[in-house]
């Protein structure tokens, strides 16, 4: 078995703020996506949402699964996800998420999202 080369491995810690990249088009959110072979928001990534922040309203191009690692996240329909919750959203679902106190979410997304919605208030409603 050959050793793993430096360029074949990335390791970061989710507690290291410098490991996160600000999420384009959003305020108070950032992400870690280590695989350089996939587009942003596809495959596995870590999503950090700061206190009082929200995601851009979007439609899922494929299924999305996520685990709330820390904090609480609420969808625009009022559904709250707490630390430890594992969630599956079907392809084509539409939502925006919001957090009062901040959260870290581990995400797996099958396909690219679309953002055809205009935000009308702080919670995307």
Phi, psi of 8 (to 5 degrees): -100, 5
Task: Quickly list DSSP for 1-49.
Answer: -PPPPGGG-----TT-GGG-EEPTT-SSEEEE---TTS-TTSEEEEEEE
Tokens of 64: 């999305």
Domain boundaries, given as residue ranges, for the chain? 47-113
Region class of 116: left (phi > 0), else alpha (psi between -120 and 50), else beta:
alpha
pLDDT at residue 106 in the model = 98
79: Cβ contacts below 8 Å, ≥ 6 apart: none
pLDDT at residue 112 in the model = 86
pLDDT at residue 57 in the model = 93
Mean pLDDT of 85-99: 96
Residue 114 banded pLDDT, cuts 50, 70, 90: confident
Task: Look up the pTM and report it.
Answer: 0.87
Give the separation between CA 114 and CA 34, rounded to whole angstroms: 22
pLDDT at residue 25 in the model = 87
pLDDT digits (tens, 9 = 90+) for 28-57: 999 999 998 999 989 999 999 999 999 999
Mean pLDDT of 57-80: 96
Q: What CATH code is assigned to 47-113?
A: 2.60.120.10
């Amino acid at each position: 078995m050959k050793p793993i080369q430096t360029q074949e491995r990335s390791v970061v810690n989710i507690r290291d703020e410098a490991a996160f990249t600000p999420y384009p088009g959003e305020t108070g959110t950032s992400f870690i996506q280590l695989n350089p072979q996939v587009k942003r928001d596809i495959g596995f990534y870590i999503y950090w949402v700061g206190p009082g922040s929200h995601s851009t309203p979007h439609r899922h191009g494929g299924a999305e699964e996520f685990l709330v690692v820390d904090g609480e996240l609420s969808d625009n329909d009022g559904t709250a996800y707490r630390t430890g919750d594992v969630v599956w959203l079907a392809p084509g679902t539409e939502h925006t998420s919001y957090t009062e106190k901040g959260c870290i979410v581990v995400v797996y997304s099958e396909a690219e999202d679309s953002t055809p919605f205009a935000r009308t208030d702080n919670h995307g409603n």
